[in-house]
Amino acid sequence: MPQGLTRPESAASLLATPRRRKLLEHIWQRTSLSRKQFAALYLTPLERYAELVQQFPASESHHHAYPGGMLDHGLEIVAYALKLRQSHLLPAGVTPEAQAAQAEAWTAGTAYAALLHDIGKIAVDLHVEYADGTLWHPWHGPLQRPYRFRYRKDREYRLHGAATGLLYTRLLDREILDWLSSFTDLWTSLLYVLAGQYEHAGTLGELVVQADQASVAHELGGDPNKALAAPKHALQRKLLDGLRYLLKEEFKLNQPQASDGWLTQDALWLVSKTVSDRLRAHLLSQGIDGIPASNTAVFNVLQDHGIALATPDGKAIWKATVTSDAGWSHSFTFLKLSPAMIWEAADRPAAFVGTVQVESEEPAAQATASEAIDVERGESVLAPTESAAPVTADSSVAELLELLDSPASTIPATPLQPLVKPEPASLLDDRPADATPVQAVHQSGSDPSGAHFLAWLRQSIQTRKLIINDAKALVHTVAGTAYLVSPGVFQRYAQEHPQISPLAKQDKLPEWQWMQKKFEKLGLHRKQASGLNIWNCEVTGPRKSRRLHGYLLTSADSLFHETPPDNPYLRLANTEAKRDDSALRAKNDGEQE
């Protein structure tokens, strides 16, 4: 081939490098789709993108300024954006059922917005020609013959954002666009991103900007974690949205006795333990991490974010007596909120017919971590020490950073070979009948049980509230089946379902341990030859290694419609010698049958 020319490659060839294949696998694991669905919704647009961008760099002298840099940047930003998308409930302001129904569309829309954000560069920044001097433009379709390119000297820096509209139909076919356009909020945000108007694109625009910054930071040797850090107001917004939902859908107000709170003319008084337990459970059930495990910490967070109003001595907890017009009276500990934070003036409920009188004989005390208020009786009771570790936000993207820092030779062979292009069909048409997330839990009953735990786990994986095979995941795929990290996965369930508490108290067990025993009775886990329930897993990455303890399912069919490939960083350890490990027995308590 003449010097200075590059031969165009097929998408399969361009995406065949170990690092790019691993990025494709990472992208797939961020969806809840079968292989067939992933091929239709993600792999096909990614292949079309690869065919268009070929060996073009992402910039002339800035980030990813090397042959193939645009393809690498495109895959990276999609992976980062999908990681970020996991911590957002979209669209905001609708019911959890509506969010679940739209979850996959918003995930796909996030991926498309990220992938397409720079595609206009090949239309307006580059001069591309064939060997005979014939100009090539991307609206001609993929390059067919050896080509050469150079950057245009007169290019306008911001024009590529406006040029995206020339090309996105080259990547997204009519069926995908029809599907996306049926979701009004998503479609509006996506069109603004594709037009380069990020300021009007809401959360979708924020996700693309942050993901772009993270990819650029990594390439230039910066810190992607800083680029991925959520805005400081994000937790405040999630707390407020959760409170508004609970007050609209679940909390009972202004009732004489069995009430969750009382609204007066100037304040909203919510029973402190009720609001803490149910707000934590609601947010965790929606896939929002970073919510403290102790009530005291929740009270402090609400106060620090300006949601809970402080007492005269600066505490979050108020003690007050409620008296109805019928003469009923009782004292409670409360959080005090401004009604204007919850309702617009026209939507505000009627005020309580009675009084809420703050008790002034002693300062309102901040509840300790082990003290709770029995809501029905208004009495202080001693609660067992919380066994669940605080849930922290996973913003480190450790797994992805390890991948991006790994030399190609250290990346295991990727299992993407089985991906097969689907026959033409409606999008998401092979989703199993039982895969509707909200229905899954309801079909198994709403009371805590082993069956309910399993349905919750399947639902959480399908809606990506629980991410598999990630750095801090509670579920992994190992040895061709599912591996449940103990006690973490049971602690998470207990945090989302505070109604376990009285049942566990009856059996004199911590909540997570009660749930673990219910799971064991299902008989779905594989035991070791020695009879042990718990299996050890070694976690090995480019930077560190550690050990996990957990349950190995006999079959992963109860969790996955199609079992994902094994996590390449995990392997089963030899646990036969651990039979007399009393520390492990005490921690997991799964061997006392």
With b meaning 16 or more CB within 10 Å and e meaning fewer, what string describes 210-248?
Answer: bbbbbbbbbbeeeebeebbebeeebbbebbbbbbebbbe
Residue 280: the pLDDT is: 84
Contacts of 354 (CB under 8 A, 6+ apart): 262, 322, 323, 324, 325
Domain ranges in the chain are 11-229, 232-358, 450-572
Q: Which residue from 242, 342, 244 is spatially nearest to 282, judged by alpha carbons?
A: 242
Q: 450-572 falls under which CATH superfamily?
A: STY4665 C-terminal domain-like (2.40.10.200)
Class of the CATH domain delimited by 232-358: mainly beta
The full length of the chain comes to 593
DSSP state of 43: I
- Give the Cα separation of 150 and 300 in Å (integer): 57
Classify 289 in phi/psi space as left (phi over 0), alpha (psi -120 to 50) or beta: beta
* Ranges of residues in the chain whose predicted pLDDT is under 70: 1-2, 157, 220-236, 257, 287-290, 304-306, 360-446, 541-545, 574-593
- Residue 491: which of 389, 371, 372 has the closest Cα? 389
Express each pLDDT in 272-312 by its tens digit. 888 888 888 888 777 666 677 777 877 877 776 667 888 87
- Phi, psi values for residue 481, rounded to 5°: -145, -175
The percent of the chain in helix, strand and coil, each rounded to the nearest 5, is 45, 15, 45
Domains 232-358 and 450-572 share a fold: yes
592 torsion bin: left (phi>0), alpha (psi -120 to 50), beta (else): beta
- Residue found under tokens 């829309």: 109
**What are the phi and psi torsion angles at 485 (to 5°)?**
-75, 125
d(CA 111, CA 454): 30
- 493 φ/ψ angles, rounded to the nearest 5 degrees: -60, -45
End-to-end Cα spacing for the chain: 72
384 class by beta-carbon count within 10 Å (0-12 exposed, 13-18 middle, 19+ buried): middle
Amino acid at 203: T
CA distance 182 to 160: 27
Dihedral sign, Cα of residue 446, residue 450, residue 453, residue 455: negative
**Is residue 365 a contact partner of residue 317, using CB atoms and an 8 Å limit?**
yes
Rounded Cα–Cα distance for residues 197 and 114 (Å)? 14
- H or E element at residue 185: helix 184-194
Residues near 453 by beta carbon (within 8 Å), at least 6 away in sequence? 490, 493, 515, 518, 519
Closest CA to 114 of 194, 43, 41, 172: 194
- CA–CA gap between residue 362 and residue 372 (Å, rounded): 19
Q: pTM of the prediction?
A: 0.50
* Predicted local confidence at residue 235, as pLDDT: 64
Structure tokens, 463: 């809606």
* 226-250 pLDDT per residue, tens: 556 545 445 667 778 888 888 888 8
Contact criterion met (CB below 8 Å) for 259 and 328: no
Domain 11-229 bears CATH identifier 1.10.3720.10: no
Select from 110, 138, 108 the least CA-distant residue to 122: 138
